[in-house]
Amino acid sequence: MLADMAMKLEAARQLTYAAAARSERSDGDLTFLSAAAKCLASDTAMAVTIDAVQLLGGYGYTRDFPVERMMRSPRVARRAATSSTARAESVRQVPPAERTAS
């Protein structure tokens, strides 16, 4: 479970870095890459937080561990409130020409 969590985090991090690097180089419109990075990062944040709570068992719900705060954090709740379907739809609306990342 820890390895899966680490792989998800690294994938989201690398996509975010790729979007940032492309932005710094001013490589055209970044609509698709930035939307995809945001979608993956927010989904990953919620998934990893849930996995961390499960990993800790009952301790994941006590205030002794920071994961409890992360689980009830307004940021995480706000990200979770935006449905993944709505985020994926915003990614799909990007024209195909902009989806090809070089």
What's the CATH class of domain 2-99?
mainly alpha
Measured CA to CA, the distance from residue 18 to residue 8 in angstroms comes to: 15
As given in the structure block, the two tokens for residue 96 are 């195909």
Hey, how many other C-beta atoms are within 10 angstroms of the C-beta on 19?
20
Q: With the C-alpha atoms ordered 42, 102, 93, 23, is the resulting torsion angle positive or negative?
A: positive
> Could you tell me the residue ranges of all domains in the chain?
2-99
pLDDT recorded at residue 42: 83
Give the DSSP letter of residue 28.
S
Q: What would the pLDDT profile of 35-91 be if each residue is shown by its tens digit? A: 889 888 888 888 888 888 888 887 777 777 778 777 776 466 556 556 666 666 666
Q: Which tokens hold the place of 24?
A: 């710094």
pLDDT, residue 102, reads: 47
Whether pLDDT at 4 is above 80: yes
User: What are the angstrom distances between the C-alpha of 7 and each of 10, 11, 50?
Assistant: 5, 6, 15
Confidence check: pLDDT of 100 > 60: no
Give the H/E segment covering residue 88: helix 84-92
Check pLDDT > 60 for residue 101. Answer: no
pLDDT of residue 88: 66
